[in-house]
Structures are given as C-alpha cells and as structure tokens.
Amino acid sequence: MAAFIPYGRQSITEADIAAVIDVLNSDFLTQGPVVPAFEEAVASSCGAKHGIAVNSATSALHIACMALGVGPGDSVWTSPLTFVASSNAALYCGADVDFVDVDERTYNMCPTKLAEKLDEAAAKGTLPKVIIPVHLTGQSCDMAAIYAAASRHGVRIIEDASHAIGGSYAGEPVGNCRFSDIAVFSFHPVKIVTTGEGGMAMTNDSKLAELMNLYRSHGVTRDADLLQSEDPGPWYYEQQHLGYNYRMTDINAALGLSQMSRLSEFIERRRAIASVYDRAFADFPVKTPWQHPDADSAWHLYVIRVDEQQAGQSHRAIFDTLRNAGIGVNLHYIPVYLQPYYRELGFKPGLCSNAEAYYSEAISIPMFPTMTAEQQERVIDAIGEAVAG
Ligand SMILES: *Cc1c(COP(=O)(O)O)cnc(C)c1O
C-alpha cells in the first residue's frame, strides 16, 4: 500500500537545522538573544507592538487570561469548535466557561449569537470577563462584528489565532490585535510555523505585555524600573506575582525565526493546495470550506463536510474508508463541551446545534506545504471513491 499521507506536517529545511545548531554551539540555550529576535520577527510580520514567546499556545492562552485578570467568579466564553486548550486556559484561572455557537458557514464564533448571548447575560448580570474567538482552520472570525458586540458590554477579547498566522482580516494581518486585547499563535509542528512546541501572545498594550512577561517566568523580575524595594545588589530579583515557567528556549526560537522567513511561501503553497481541492470537489457530494469575504485564510486545515444522505453512506464509513486508503483524515474538533471533563461540569449535548451538526459531517483532509501534486491527487481520488460508495 502507498505511504500514509498525514493531515498536516512540518516543513524543515537545511537552513532551519543550521539555525538550531548555531544556538547549540552558542553561549545561551535559553534566555539568550534568539527568543527576543523571534518575538520581534513575529510582531513585525503581523503588525503587533509586542510578542511574548512561551513554550506553547496553551501557556500563552493561560497568561493572556491572567493578564486580563480572569479569576474565580469570572466567566470566559469561547467557541465549541476548538482544541480543549482554548477553554482550559480559563479553567486554570479558576473561572467558569461557556460556549457561543458557531456560524454555520464559517464554523467560527457567530457574532449574532454572541451579541444575543451577551445581551441576555447583561440583563442577568452574568457577563463574561473575556471571550476567546478561535480562527478555525486559519480563517479569521468576523472580528469587527465580534469586537462591536463585546465592547458594548466592556468584555475583553483574546483571539485564539493558533491556526491563523499568515492569514488576514479586512486586509490586515491576523495577530495585529486591531479588534482584540491579545492574540495567540501556536507553533506546534502541525501548525503553520513551528518551533517544535511553542506559542506567542501578541498585544499592543504595553501593560499587558509586561504582565505576560512576568507570568511566563515565575512572576519574577530584575528590571530596575519594576522593583518594589531598593535594589540591594546585583543578585537581587523580586517575585511580584505567582507566575510559571512557561519560557521558550533559544533552541526552539531559532527554528521559529528561521521558519518565519518562509511564512509567505507556506501560505502561498497552502492557498494553492486549497484552490486545487476547491476545483476538484466542485462536482463531488461534499461541502467545501466557505470563505468570508473579509477573511483571507492561512489554510491550516481544509475541512470538507459530507452529507450522509447525499453520499449514501455514513460519515464514519467515509472516514474509515479514507483512513484505510492511507489518507490521514482527522476531525477538528469534537465540540469541547462534549468532552467527559466538561460534561462533569454540567454541559449537555444540544448546547450548540451548529457545532454539533458540523461535528457529524466534518472531515479534515491532508493540507501541508510539502504535499506533492501526486499526494494531493491520491487524496482527491480516494475522496471521490469514498463518497461515491
Ligand atoms: C494547537 C492549538 C492550541 C494549543 O496549542 P499548543 O501550542 O499545542 O499548546 C490551542 N488552540 C487551538 C485552536 C489549537 O489549534
């Protein structure tokens, strides 16, 4: 049988490898000059003032919630169609979570549903402190509409842009925080740019940047401008908050910095693959990803939806047929609140009907920049056969 084609995978060049080796031969494996250089590269590429690099997007989401003051008694709302980390971050802070259903075309948090839910919460005095819209598959949420709804009620916004580095919204790069307080990127190997493990929180607010900088490293500072006591000597540092060790190493940052030079190449390649799929599936009984006119997706994922009636077989059967043909299909995501841990918190099926309908039909198919034309043809042929029965 032909080799397995994964749904996503990293692209590593000799230049990436050399950049990592340079750090291994240098004085600093961590807390050296490469982390700030990587932060600067990401910040300038997406047009944000500050980038705080950490060891995962999960950590970035956590310190972002902390910086916005999320704590016990607060509530945080996110999308049900996301990786569990988007809502776990709020739980780490002792807050409650809730979910806003998705738009049935984009699969992103629906601004209309958000506005209605916020109005109801305002009437009951149960407004969330923060909302975390997620740019699923790399397509930006309709951030202007989300921002309008949230800011009417003084609700802060963290964009989970884990899928979306290199994408844009209303002609501007995702991550510039024009419609949010903080935006978070992930550098896990299946994402668009990788550091192995890693993440970054972007913000234009220097106070939030300073707080996240403290929270990623034990809440400890040596910065003379921040010290609360008189500096007794060069050994001195102060722990001012309860922080964590969420730092990114220079080894990881070197890989990320090297990868950033190919960001536009990655995005171009992903867009080309998406348009080949779009054309190939035009005559298949599958729904291709609808694109919001204001969003230019980074195409982390390409998700098709299969109508069981039309295809004449079950979602599960199509999924199994593809896996058996060596096509690494996947499903992003199980609605978070259906996870056992969340059911234990009291969530029940039926909460977000669009997200559940999506879950019963969606299939993520292979999408990565090093995918060859041959591999893509194999994917298309296998899908053609699977949905034709
Ligand atoms: C991957 C991902 C995360 C978590 O990223 P890590 O870097 O693995 O912690 C969070 N949210 C979304 C939407 C993701 O896809």
Handedness of CA 144, 146, 149, 154 (dihedral sign): negative
Handedness of CA 232, 234, 236, 240 (dihedral sign): positive
The pLDDT of residue 388 is: 85
Helix, strand, or coil (residue 184): strand
Kindly give the distance from the C-alpha atom of residue 186 to the centroid of ligand 1, in angstroms, as a whole number: 6
Q: Which atom of ligand 1 is nearest to the CA of 134?
A: 13
Beta strand extents in 253-367 (DSSP E only): 286-287, 295-296, 302-306, 362-365
213 C-alpha vs ligand 1 centroid, how far in Å?
20
Q: How many CB atoms lie within 10 A of CB 63?
A: 28
Q: Tell me the CA–centroid distance for residue 84 and ligand 1, in Å.
A: 8
Task: Give me the amino acid identity at 90.
Answer: A
Nearest to 182 by CA among 76, 82, 283, 264: 76
d(CA 161, CA 174): 7
Instruction: Give pLDDT, residue 371.
Output: 97
Give 300's contacts (C-beta < 8 A, 6+ positions apart).
8, 137, 138, 162, 163, 164, 190, 191, 192, 270, 367
Point out the residues that are catalytic. Answer: 191
> Cβ(162) to ligand 1 under 6 A?
yes
Q: What is the pTM of this model?
A: 0.98
Mutate-to-test residue for ligand 1 from 61, 79, 83, highest number of ligand atoms within 8 A of CB: 83
Tokens of 98: 């809730």
Mean pLDDT by 10 residues, the chain (389 residues): 89 98 98 98 98 98 98 98 98 98 98 98 98 98 98 98 98 98 98 98 98 98 92 94 98 98 98 98 95 98 94 95 97 98 98 98 98 98 90
